[in-house]
Amino acid sequence: MWKKAAMAISSAAAIVTMSACGGASAGSSSGTPAAAVPEGKSIVVYYSATGNTKRAAETIAKETGSDIYAITPKVPYTEADLDYNNSASRVSKEHKDSSIRPAYTEDVENWNDYKVVYLGYPIWWGEAPAIVYTFTEHHSFDGKTVIPFATSYSSPLGDSGENLFRAAKTGTWLPGECFTGGGKTDDVLGWIHSLKK
């Protein structure tokens, strides 16, 4: 399914079917073995609204020896902005209008030096937040391997990784993982270890 979409989008891009969301490693949650991560300098790029994705990102960075970069909104999200039950809130408006691309501050230094990118985000309405699309659409992933990861309380990874890949149009995207329950450290470590096999 994804491979056909990848070919239709760009011959320079490739993707492997994503795993389902799980609380443990990709292998144990979906029954599909995780693809091995290639050698090369790596970075964890993430957006975190409440701290759950940040904790997962820091665990991944420490365990893999990766650099880390937080996507920081130019206009910070307030608690009211994050109220998804309010149809007039900022996140609700971004969900309804898929063309919205919130700006972020600064950027990754020496982007071209990285070969592996762990891309993290919370799941909102089954998707990555709009600001993650801003980052993805402003960077070339050509020659890079991208590994999505997400945090949520109960939602699966769904098509979020596929949709980010469609936005990126470049890069090789490996199976991703969604950590429910806020992203427990043991679950994140289990997933990382499965990628090294």
| Domain that residue 78 falls in | 2-195
Along the 197 residues of the chain, how does pLDDT read in single tens digits?
Answer: 333 333 333 334 554 433 334 433 333 233 333 456 888 999 999 999 999 999 999 999 999 999 999 999 999 998 998 888 888 888 889 888 889 999 999 999 999 999 999 999 999 988 999 999 999 999 999 999 999 999 988 787 888 999 999 999 999 998 789 998 777 889 999 999 988 76
Domain count for the chain, please give it: 1
Q: Are strands 67-70 and 145-152 parallel, antiparallel or unpaired?
A: unpaired
Q: Determine the pLDDT at residue 146.
A: 96
β-bridge mates for residue 178, sequence order? 150
Round to whole Å and give the CA distance between 120 and 114: 16
**What is the structure's pLDDT at 153?**
82
Residue 191: give its domain's CATH number.
3.40.50.360
Gap between the Cα atoms of 131 and 77, Å rounded: 11
Q: What is the separation of C-alpha 178 from the centre of its chain, rounded to a whole number of angstroms?
A: 9
pTM of the model: 0.82
Taking alpha carbons only, the member of 171, 175, 143 closest to residue 13 is 171
Return the DSSP state at 155: -
Q: Using CA atoms in the order 164, 169, 170, 175, what is the torsion angle rounded to 10 degrees?
A: 40
